[in-house]
Every structure is written in C-alpha cells, then in structure tokens.
A and B are shown apart, each in its own frame.
Chain A
Amino acid sequence: MKTTLTRGYAVRLSRGMKTNLKAWILLAPSLVFLLTFTVFPILRSFFLGLTQYEFGMRSPEFIGLENYINFAKSALFWKIMGNTLYFSFLTVLPSMVIGLGLAMIVNTKIHGVGFIRTSFFYPVIMPMIAIASIWMFIYMAESGMLDQLLMAVGLKAMNVLSYRETVIPAMSFMYVWKEAGYLMIFFLSGLQNISGELYEAATIDGASPFTMFRKITLPLLGPTLLFVSTIALTNSVKLVDHIVIMTEGGPNNGSTMLLYHIYQQGFAWFDQAKASALTVVMLVIMLAIAMIQFVNADSRIHYN
C-alpha cells in the first residue's frame, strides 16, 4: 500500500518535471537570443556607463557616476535632449490627430476607399532612408521643390535644413507624413469596433457630428488613443535614419537626437562608456513610456 502511494507520487512528480523540461527546451532558443541581445546588453550598458572606456584604453576603469554628472553639466547633452523632446512634441500629437482624421475618412463609405487607404499607408512600408533621400530634394536649398515653390510665389528661399529654427520642424513634417498612415490603421480598427447603433441613436436624438465625435467616438477610442500614443512616442524617440542622410546632426547639432548621439559616441568617437551611459538614459525614457501604459492599464475603463 505504502509503496504504491509513493510510486504514484513519484510518477506524478516526474510528469510535472517532464513538462517543465519540455517547456524549457522549447523556450531555450528564444531564451538564448533574448538574453544575449536584450537582457545582457541592458546590464552591460548599466555597468559600462559607470566607467571610463575611451578609444585606445585596454579595459574600462570604474569612475562611478561621473559620466552622468558630466552629462548634467554639458550644454550639448541638454541641447540633444531638448531636440529629442521637441521632435516628439512636433510629431506625436500631429501624427495622431492626422492619423485619426485619416481613419475617420477611410471609415466612411466614400468612393475609392481602397485607393485612399493605400496612398495614406504606403509611406509606412518605404524605408526611412529612401524617404529621407526623396525629401532631401524637396528641402534642398534653392533648387529644392519647397524653395522653388516659395520663389515662384515671390517669397525668399528658406533652405530649411540649414537653419537651427527650421531643421527639426522640417524633419517633423516629413515624419508626420510617414507615420500618420501607420497610426491610422490602429484608429481604423478602433473605430470599427464602435457599434453603429450608437451613432444612429444619437442622430435620431439630433446630435451634431461634432457632439457625436466628442461624446461617442473619443471616449470609446480611449484605450486605442493611449496605446497609439505609446507607439508614436517610442517610434519618434528612436528615429534616426533620416539624420544620417539629411543633416548628420547639423547645423551645429541642431538636429542631433539622443539615439543619433549614441551612434556618434560609440561609432564615430569610439567612446563606448559614454555611449553606454547614453544608452541607459535611453532605456529610462523607454521604460517611462511603457509605464504610461501600465499605470493607465489599471484605471482604464472598458466600454462596449
């Protein structure tokens, strides 16, 4: 009697063990790559960020928080943070508003919806490098399309990429054009989840389209808005490809963004410690963006 009990227990345990083993064998390949190229580099950045490790040094030297203290004192660092923030400010909200507008257009039963949706979305699947190459010619001094247009109506050529005041707005305009179509599709699927009966009832009650938008569309899109804003923020903070083509951070660091600066520190100036410390700053920003969603996820109201 006693032996059978123990035996049954042993068999059960070993079955559980077998499932554990099977699961981890199946997870192993993903785990190895996620640990090596996501978890480990995060830890490595935290460690190297506390060291001095310039080109030519044999090994990193521990210097505590000196890199961060230097950043805090550096005008260039704050300029770059300001640029990054300014670019996000000029792109996130406009691309969301336009994306929602486009989604509402595409969601109606108008003629040629397929064509319209396609032309709003195609910039999304084009490489940023190709888009920057094309817009480079739009923005180019004097012979570019924009300046030609300005001169044709009697205004002065602006040469937007060469001035501190206009370089980020010009890049933002291009990026909003590219990103709006991407955000559109999330809004579109959000809109399609709102029951048409709500609008019908509101129409019978004599509500204006604006009231319906404010009282039905916006509240019911709440979760979508939150989710789209985190996507838009993440994307705008990590966008750098166009800088390589258009300005290389110029004029006078007027368009240098955080990730581009990481690239400069690590791969132009070969200072891996500073690049790591900047990566840590970037990680904190990414984490903060993710937190927006987690914090709101708890208090999120679910309609429908």
Chain B
Amino acid sequence: MRAGNIMKTHKHILLNLVAVVLALAWLVPLVWMIGTAFTEGSYTMSLIPHTRPTFENLRYVWNAVPFGRYYMNTMIVVAGTFSVQFVTVTMAAYALAVLKFKGEKLMFIIIFIQLIIPNDVLISPNYMTLGDLGLTDTKLGIMIPFFGSAFGIFLLRQMFKTIPAALSEAAVIDGCNTFQVITNIYVPSSRAAYISFGLVSISYHWNNFLWPLIVTNSTENRTLTVGLALFAKSKEAVMQWANVCAATFIISMPLVIAFFIFQKKFINSFISSGIK
C-alpha cells in the first residue's frame, strides 16, 4: 500500500516536471522576443540577453514607423467593429430567441452560411464589393464585412433563451416597449456573453492581417499588423532582429498583457468561439 503511494507520488512529480518543462519550452519564443527587443542589436542570436537592457530599439522603431498612427487606426477599427456588432447582434439575437415569426428558417440558413464560410476566404469578391461602394483604403472598408456576425448572434441567442419570458412580460405590462425590454432586461442580464463575444471580436480584429493589408493603401488607414509586416519586409529590417522584435513587442503586447491578467476570461471566451 505504502509502496503504491510512493509510486504514485513519484509519477505525480514526474508529470509535474514534464508539464513545467513543456510550459517553459512554449515560452521560449516570447522570452526571446522580449529579451531581444530590449537588448542592443547584434549579429549573433542568444536566448539570454548579453547586454544591459536598452530602450533604444523601441525608440528607434517607434520613430522609424508611424506606430502611433497605426495604434490609433487599430483601436478605431477594433472599437468601431465591436460597437456596430453589439447593436446588430443584440437586435438579431432578440428576434431569434424570443419572437416566433415567418422566415425564421431562412435567417438561420443565412447565419449558418457565415459560420461555415468565414469572411477570410471571401477576400477577392468582397474587395470588388468594397470597390463598388467606394470604400477601398478606408477604415470603414476594413470593418464593414464584419458588421454582421453569425457567431455573435448565436452566442447571444443562446444567452437570451435562458432569460425567463415572465421577466419581459412583466416589463411589457409595466409599459416597456421592445427597445426598452432589450436594453433594460436582456442586455444587462447577458453581460458574460457580451464579454465573451467582445474578447473574441477584439482579439480577432486586433490580429487580423490579410483583409486590412488588401484594403489599405496609406498610412492613414493601415493597422498595426500591416505596419509590422511592411516593416519586417523592408530593407531596414534585414538581419535587424532587435528592431523587428521591438516592433513585434509594440504590436502584440496590449493583448498579451491583457491575457496574462484576465486569462480565465479569455480562455472561457475562446471556448465559445468554437460555435459551429
């Protein structure tokens, strides 16, 4: 019996060791990126910084590339997309969760199509549509294909379905109209679903690259990912890993830091992002 327990403890320690070693291995690229971003540029690579920490790379990159502008643009795109999604998704989710109406099936089919065919693969025809609308090289052009969100509608519809009808019926008797029922009852009771949807939407649009690359053509509208790609591919960046790491640090840190602080919320939100 005791021998068995000791075996168990040994196994436990071994598993724990494996887990920690794996976790550390997973961190190598991040540690190297941060270390290099704050180390003087050099032609040999090393995992452990070998010079005194310096802000020179960050300063250089910040001045060489209009990252301030790109930050602004990215925040406008991310916030703008989510704000509009918030409204469209809430309205649609209420209709699909609460009301019985003709053509419900048709709406579900349209929503399913977007779940199956993500916007990412429709870059070519959507760019033509953007041209027809005169929205190429605009921030609105980056955002507009995402204003309708099948994922958001599904997530909130699920949430809205759990809210007892008696609650809204009482509100109607008290004289609330549909708009008031939604804003006073449904939205406040669904905070968790909105946080999930918000985190997924924000992460997606902060990180999105191909579509903003195609749509934008000027500094005024480029986002951070596009800015980083342009810099990483430019002549100044060849072999300059300290600078590229500094640029990478600049564009990915806000989300990474937010994730380290709110990791449980992020992970729970991303679990809901698998909706199919």
A interface vs B, CB < 8 Å? 19-20, 22-24, 26-27, 29-42, 44-45, 48, 102, 105-106, 108, 110-112, 114-131, 133-138, 143-145, 148, 177, 181-182, 185-186, 189, 227-228, 230-231, 234, 238, 240-241, 244-245, 259, 262-263, 265-267, 272, 275-276, 278-279, 282-283, 286-287, 290, 293
Contact = CB atoms under 8 A, between A and B. Distances in A.
A156 B11 CA distance: 38
A108 B16 CA distance: 9
B118 A238 contact: yes
Contacts of A45: 122, 124-125
Main secondary structure of the interface of B (DSSP, over half): helix
Given A185-B267, A234-B118, A30 B92 contact: yes
B232 A282 contact: no
Nearest to B258: A125
Nearest to A43: B125
Contacts of B232: 129, 133, 136, 245
Main secondary structure of the interface of A (DSSP, over half): helix
Contacts of B134: none
B28 to A, nearest CB: 9
A159 B128 CA distance: 39
A269 B91 CA distance: 41
Contact of B274 (A134, A186, A265, A283): A186
Interface of B: 12, 15-16, 18-20, 22-24, 26-27, 29-30, 32-33, 43-45, 47, 87-89, 91-92, 94-96, 99-104, 107, 110-111, 113-114, 116-129, 144-150, 153, 178, 203, 206-207, 209-210, 213-214, 224-225, 228-229, 232-233, 239, 241, 244-245, 247-248, 251-252, 255-256, 259-260, 263, 266-267, 270-271, 274, 276
A238 B270 contact: no
Given A34-B114, A133-B228, A293-B276, 18 more contacts: A27-B96, A37-B129, A37-B144, A37-B148, A44-B129, A105-B19, A110-B16, A126-B30, A127-B228, A130-B251, A130-B252, A133-B245, A134-B29, A134-B248, A148-B45, A185-B271, A245-B232, A283-B121
B148 A33 contact: yes
A248 to B, nearest CB: 9
Given A39-B113, A122-B256, A244-B229, A266 B124 contact: yes
A238 B263 contact: no
Contacts of B104: 23
Contacts of B99: 19, 22-23, 26
A37 B126 CA distance: 6
